[in-house]
């Protein structure tokens, strides 16, 4: 009986894991174009920038480019360790979120 329950539990976990992997795979961002520099190597987010009109992109760039540029400088200079980078990301997310409520 115990072995049968273990098999059933394993089957349910495996099925759930396959479902989760399918969901994660559908969220992967894939790009095929070669990039001139490492800054061009990854699109922003899940394509939300591409859905913006020119005025929205200008506003976005004006708000985020200085912060992004400074982060890249700090990263290339190895000024941030993993914990500091995680804190930076958290702070950016929370400040953006709190501005919306």
CA angle centred on 37, ends 74 and 39, rounded to 5°: 45
CA 13/CA 74 separation, integer angstroms: 42
pLDDT, position 4: 60
Of all helices (H) and strands (E), which one includes residue 30? Answer: none
Contacts of 72 (CB under 8 A, 6+ apart): 39
Per-residue pLDDT of the chain (101 residues; tens, 9 = 90+): 566 655 555 555 555 555 555 655 665 555 555 556 655 555 556 678 888 899 999 998 999 899 889 998 998 899 989 899 999 989 999 998 998 88
CA 49/CA 35 separation, integer angstroms: 18
Domain ranges of the chain: 1-30, 52-101
pLDDT, position 56: 93
pLDDT, position 39: 55
């Amino acid at each position: 009986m115990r072995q049968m329950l273990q098999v059933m539990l394993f089957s349910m976990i495996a099925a759930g894991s396959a479902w989760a992997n399918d969901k994660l795979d559908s969220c992967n961002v894939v790009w095929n174009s070669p990039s001139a520099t490492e800054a061009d190597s990854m699109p922003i987010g899940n394509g939300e920038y591409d859905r913006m009109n020119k005025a929205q992109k200008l506003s976005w760039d004006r708000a985020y480019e200085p912060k992004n540029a400074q982060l890249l400088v700090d990263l290339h200079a190895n000024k941030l360790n993993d914990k500091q980078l995680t804190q930076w990301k958290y702070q950016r997310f929370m400040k953006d979120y709190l501005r919306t409520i």
